[in-house]
Structure formats: structure tokens, C-alpha cells
Chain A
Amino acid sequence: MAKHPIYGLMAEFDNTHDLVAAAHRVREEGYRQIDAYTPFPVEGLEETVGFRLPLLPIITFIGGLTGCIGGFILQYWPNVIGYPLDIGGKPYDSWPSFIPITFELTILGAALFCVFGMFFLCGLPMPYHPVFNVPRFKLASHDRFFLCIKSKDPKFSLDETKRFLEGLNAREVSIVPV
């Protein structure tokens, strides 16, 4: 970090087309430590920032499975092993009556894992992040599109990268302080 007291360089675009085209150019040029910030999900950017297979469905599935098995045991154990009681002549193992709760807990497990897994993978909550130091970054949640090349990229060099970004139809290129 001492070598680069800045986080990276941020280019601003006013439409998705320029952003996507620029992102592809940046990728072709050999930069790998890049990220794009948009006011809504934009298609065609994932591969440029090196996004891998989403883990989320697997995490959700594990959550659902945990809820499902846990939910059934939660009912089976007390009714059959822990404290069996004859109620209304129903069998101890009344599996049809155990299905609703098993189902609800499957859903609950899947949803909790899904949401908290998503926040965890996104690294949220994150109270401080260098990109917020760019004054115009406010517009990333309004109507502007930003592309950032991070200083830790081996190809990063302040002047050259800046010149390169400026040539990509960017409205403005600014330095992101750490």
C-alpha cells in the first residue's frame, strides 16, 4: 500500500453501452483487478470482473436441507423417543402431521442461509470503502456508471492507466484515495 497510496482509478460513464464496452477493453488490455458500479444490474459485465460460479444456490440448498432434517428430528425425537404420549390414539410416529413443520423449517433454513450467505459473500455490512471517497460516486446510485481499476493490479500505473481510461469514452476519470 505504501507503493500506491491510492485505491485505484475511477472512470465515469453515462450509459451502459459505453461502460460494458470499456470494461471489455480494460479486460483485453490485461487488467484483472477491476470492478464496475452501476445503479441497477447491468448484463454482460460479470466476465469482465472475473466473476465465478455463484455459490449462493449451494448455500441455500444446504440451509434447506439442514432445516428439513432438523425439523423432522425436532418432532420425531420427542414424540417417539424422548417423551412418547398417546394422544387421541394417534401413532407416535405420526409422520403426516410432521410434514407441515418440516416444510416450514426447510423454507426457513433455506431463506436464512440464502440472505445471510448473500450478505456474507458481498462482504456486507462494510461501513467504510474507499470508492465512497470519490465525490461523484454518489451518482452510482442515481444514473451514472463507474468503472474502477484497482491499484493492486500488477499492470496498474497511475499515468498510463489514467490515459487509457480517458480514451474509453469516459466522462471523467478520478483518483480514488484510500
Chain B
Amino acid sequence: MDPVDPVTEEKPAFVEPGSPWIAPGHSYGSVSDRIAGVVLGRTRKGWIFGFAIAFFLFLVLNYGITMLFFVGVGKFGINIPVAWAFAITNFVWWIGIGHAGTLISAFLLLMRQKWRTSINRFAEAMTIFAVACAGMFPLIHMGRPWLFYWLFPYPDTMGVWPQFRSPLVWDVFAVSTYFTVSLLFWYVGLVPDLATLRDKAKNKLAKVAYGFFSMGWRGSVKHWRRHEVASLLLAGIATPLVVSVHTVVSFDFTIAIVPGWHSTIFPPYFVAGAIYSGFAMVIMLAIPLRKWFHLEDFITIRHLNNMGKLLLATGMIVTYSYVMEAFMAFYSADKFESYMMLNRMTGPYAIVFWTLIACNIAIPMTFLWSYRIRTNTVALFLIAGVAQVGMWLERFVIIVTSLHRDFVPSSWGQFYPTPTDWEVLFGSLGLFFCLFYLFARLLPSISIFEMRDLVHKTAEEAGVIAGAAE
């Protein structure tokens, strides 16, 4: 036989120094071992410690919800006129956090951004867990939560249907679609990695479990091709979906005519705010994750810089929206609108409003312009944390200050949170982190096959190996 090709002395791909998105020295095997090693290795003490704290908070959540179901929604501090408070604030906050994950995995895939590879898996996981936390709140704040299924359109014996003109019904569809699609997208991406774990696992139980969920993935050419097409299609589907979900959430407010809620900028403003808090959460998860699991090679400083820039961009849109809201409140010449804005700035909740401005605009929008701050992990983590608090306060301000003084002064009121409110808020953090700890322990936090692909492409570009296609 003649030689196949002049270039027979092919080396396996490895990463040369100077490549942007992955540390030098890595090969297909080394990235696989490193990421899978986190999952297949022993449980570390730090993990048990962290999980215990999260689990404690989760128990707090269980306590709060149990009391709530036992006694009734009166356990929350809500009453007329403020009938929505912490629960809906938490709902909007959590679902907003979820948005960044989908955006990283879907939108950045469509944009062919290579830097998404090492963060998309855990960002998607974050989405699913955040949506799970969010979905809980509309249910538990109902007076009779056991009748939640009335929201679904099913042919009941009386022939009555849900009110399809109500944004609360839109929410049911939006959130359940979002959860389903995120889960599918995540699972599709996981299948090849589950196959890797199946092949690497020594433990019998792990072999069976990963084998079961990898469904017999063989990595054949046809599998990969269809997998790629499906990923692109799902990305194309998920990008408008993610925008629509928070748009529908914003409709929960705007479709009403309450001053402070009925504002046309809410859809894009809520979407930008969601992405803002979501990226803050991605940063807050990425920084410890890379440190504890020694994944600095894959989640580099440049990744953090880019995420900082995205935080800045979405934060600017949020700032713009605040300016529009404030301007239009006075420009409208509507006394309820202008009073609402004045009341936000100077009324009983003024301190919350100004804290929110400090957390969302003043602090992040000042410091994030600086490259040095964006690439300093401690500073970036703190700024992301501040923005995260700010975004929670934003939803609180929108909901509570708009409700507590609307049209008729005789029905004005005040909202004070109760212990149950706090239990459920911090408890939901416990649920989220429990799920996230389990995920980081049981599943690869970084997409292994995409990292192998990144090694390949990086090596190809650097000329370490020749291009595959002739």
C-alpha cells in the first residue's frame, strides 16, 4: 500500500502557549481526565461542608413552607394593598438568574463565541436550578396551592377554561416551557459526556447510572452530526424563548394599570435586568468553582473579563430603563405616575430605592469600566454580589412601592416582612445550592467533549496539527 498521505507524522493535538481560552499543555485526554476526575474522584471535605450548609438552608425552606401550608398565606407579611411581596420578588429574581445560563449556551453558540465552551454547562445547570426555585414561588403564594392545576387548560366537567387573557396564565406556559426546553438542551449536551463518564467509571453503580443516562451514545459520525444540528436548532429556539420568558414575567406587571407597573419599557428592561443578575450569578459561581476544583486552566481570567463586560452592557440597559421610567413618570403629566416615582424616591421605602440605585448602578457601573477590576477575581466577585442584591431590591421596589400607595389614599398601606418571608427567601438559596453542589459532584461542570473540540480547534489554528478537511 502506498502511504496514505505525506503528512503521516501527525501528533495528537495539544494546546500551545498563548492560546486565548485554555491553558497551554492540554490534550484531548488531559481535559477529559481533569474534568471527569472531579466527578469520579473522592468526595472532598470542603464539598461535604458546603453541602451541609446548603442543606441546612434547604431545611429552613421546608420549615417555612410547611408552616405556610399548615397555617395559610397569612404567614407571609402580605395583605391588602400589598398582596404581592417577597414571594413574587423571589420568583422574578430567580427566573432572571436563570436567563444568563440559556443565553451563554444558546446565544453565544449562535454567535460562534469560543469562550462559552468552558462555562456553558454549569451556566445551564444554574438555569435549571434557578427556574426550579422560581417555579416554586407562584405556587406557594397561592391561597390554595393544592389547586394549582386549575391554571392548566384541561377539559373539566364544568367546561370552564383558564383566563387566557391573563398574564398569570401566560406565565404558566412560559415558565413550564422554559424549564422543559432548558432541561432538554442541558441533557442533549450532557449525553456525550455521560458516555465519557460511563467509560471511565470504575464503580459499578456509577457505570450503570451513567450508562443508563448516556443511552448507548457511541460518538458515531451520524450521532455527532445530528447532535450538532440539534444543538444549533435548540440554540436558535432557546434564544427567543429566553427573551419571551422574562417578557411574559414583565407582562404580569405591565398588563395591569397600576402606576409603576404599567410601563411599556418593562419587557426589554426586565430581560436586560434578568441577564444582568444572571451574569452576576455566573460570575459568583465561576470564581469559587474554578478555585476549588482547580479549573483555572479552563475558566481563565479572560472569561471573567468578558463576563464583566457583559455585566456592564446589560447594566447600562438597566440604567437606561431607570432613566426612562423616571423621566416618563414626570413627563406623563399623570399625577398618579409622578406621585409613584416621587414616593419611590422619598417615601417610606426610599432607603430601599437608593440602596438599589447604589447596588445596581452607582457601584457596578463605576468600577466595571476598569480592566483591572474586571480581571481581579475578588473585586469582580464582590461587584457581582452587590449587583445581585441590587437586582433583588429592584424587584422588591417595583412590586411593593407600586402597590402600597396607588390611586385611593384611604387604601394605602405598608408591607413588613415576617420570619416566614425570610425563611423562604434564604431557604430558596439553600435549595439552589443543594442542587448545585449535587450537580458539581455528580456531573461534569464543564462540557468535556466541547473542551476536546476546543483543544482540537486551538491546535489547528496554531498549526500544531494540519486541518482535518482536505
On A, residues with C-beta under 8 Å from B are 14-18, 20-22, 24-25, 35-46, 48-49, 51, 54, 56-57, 60, 64, 74-75, 78-79, 82-83, 87-88, 90, 94, 97-98, 100-101, 103-105, 107-108, 110-112, 114-115, 117-119, 121-122, 124-129, 131-132, 138-143, 164, 167-169
Contact = CB atoms under 8 A, between A and B. Distances in A.
A98 B230 CA distance: 28
A116 B233 CA distance: 13
A142 B28 contact: yes
A43 B470 CA distance: 10
Contacts of B12: 14-15, 143
Given A39-B449, A108-B177, A169-B8, A83 B219 contact: no
B28 A100 contact: no
Contact of B181 (A18, A24, A108): A108
B164 A78 contact: yes
Given A107-B244, A111-B234, A121 B226 contact: yes
25 contacts: A37-B219, A39-B28, A39-B32, A39-B196, A40-B28, A43-B469, A54-B229, A56-B226, A78-B164, A79-B161, A82-B159, A87-B163, A88-B165, A90-B165, A110-B233, A111-B234, A115-B184, A117-B230, A127-B216, A141-B192, A141-B199, A142-B200, A143-B12, A168-B4, A169-B8
Contacts of A57: 229, 233
B226 A20 contact: no
A128 to B, nearest CB: 7
A131 B164 CA distance: 52
B83 interface: no
Nearest to B211: A127
Contacts of B27: 143
A36 B469 contact: no
Contacts of A128: 216
Interface in B428-470: 449-450, 452-453, 456, 465-466, 468-470
Interface residues of B, number: 75
Contacts, number: 226
Contacts of B450: 40
Contacts of A103: 240, 244
A21 B5 contact: yes
Nearest to A88: B165
Contacts of B218: 37, 129, 131-132, 140
Contacts of A35: 220-222
Given A15-B465, A107-B244, A111-B181, A75 B219 contact: no
Contacts of B187: 115
B216 to A, nearest CB: 4
B181 A38 contact: no
Contact of B216 (A36, A98, A126): A126
B466 A122 contact: no
Contact of A40 (B188, B229, B452): B452
A88 B256 CA distance: 12
A91 to B, nearest CB: 10
B11 to A, nearest CB: 7
Given A54-B229, A107-B177, A38 B219 contact: yes
